[in-house]
Amino acid sequence: MNEDMDLIVFTETGHVMAGATRTQVAGPAPAIEDFVGDGIMLRDPLNGAHLMTIDSSFLSVETVARREDVLVTARYFQLVDGLPEPQADLGVATPVLLDGTNVTVTIPAIANALHPVDCVVIVQGLAGGDLCVQRVRVEMGAAPPEGIGHMPLPPGEHAYLLLVPEYRLAIDTVVVP
């Protein structure tokens, strides 16, 4: 059995999108395009419906020691100092709100956080279209901690991917009025 595995990672935040093993691991990790082509499809964790495709330019491949828990539940992990670490669920019923002009991100208070938390939100209409990427700074002094970024979107149902440090990624859908 192979002792290593490759992780497909959102480069900016270290969130793990997927894990894979190869029969031949000698040498460097393959290019991200060899794994995902133009991008990785993200599916609804409950019903398997295609929600969005994350362009390969946002992704990288990292080779780490094989761990079955990471292979099975890759989206629950984030790379910390080059190693996959399990992350807590956000625990927020609706962490992303879209009103057609702005995106509002709500996260739990992070214990001992002295600085704002920088989050990444990626949104794509379920009917297709371009990815909208916004970095949102959440101030920890607010109750609940919340941040707002400009993101003009047309009405309709959209999928979002929310990447918050110290939390597993969140993927869901939301309707823009």
Number of domains making up the chain: 2
The answer to whether residues 64 and 29 belong to one domain is: yes
Task: Give a yes or no: residue 171 inside a domain.
Answer: yes
CATH (domain of 159): 2.60.40
The amino acid at 49: A
Question: Hey, what are 68's tokens?
Answer: 């079955």
CB 125 within 8 A of CB 158: yes
Neighbour-count burial for 13-40, b at 16+ CB within 10 Å, e otherwise: bbbbbbbeeeeeeeeebeebeebbeebb
Domain that holds residue 51: 4-86
Is the peptide bond between 45 and the residue preceding it cis, with omega within 30 degrees of 0? Answer: no
Task: Give a yes or no: residue 91 inside a domain.
Answer: no
pLDDT digits (tens, 9 = 90+) for 44-69: 888 999 999 999 999 999 999 999 99
Residue 119's pLDDT is what?
Answer: 95
The answer to whether residues 116 and 67 belong to one domain is: no
Q: What is the mean pLDDT of residues 27-55?
A: 90
102: exposed, middle or buried (Cβ count in 10 Å: 0-12, 13-18, 19+): middle
Residue 46 phi/psi, 5-degree rounding, is: -90, -45
Q: Does residue 94 surpass a pLDDT of 90?
A: no
Lowest mean pLDDT among 13-17, 138-142, 158-162: 138-142
pTM of the model: 0.91
Beta strand pairing call for 96-98 and 102-106 = antiparallel
The answer to whether residues 75 and 116 belong to one domain is: no
Q: Does residue 112 surpass a pLDDT of 70?
A: no
Q: Does residue 102 surpass a pLDDT of 60?
A: yes
Residue 1's pLDDT is what?
Answer: 57
Lowest mean pLDDT among 55-64, 72-81, 107-116, 126-135: 107-116
The answer to whether residues 62 and 119 belong to one domain is: no
Greater confidence, 96 or 109? Answer: 96
Q: Out of 32, 56, 86, pick the residue that ends a domain.
A: 86
Radius of gyration of the chain (CA): 17
Q: What is the mean pLDDT of residues 23-41?
A: 84
Per the document, the length of the chain is: 177
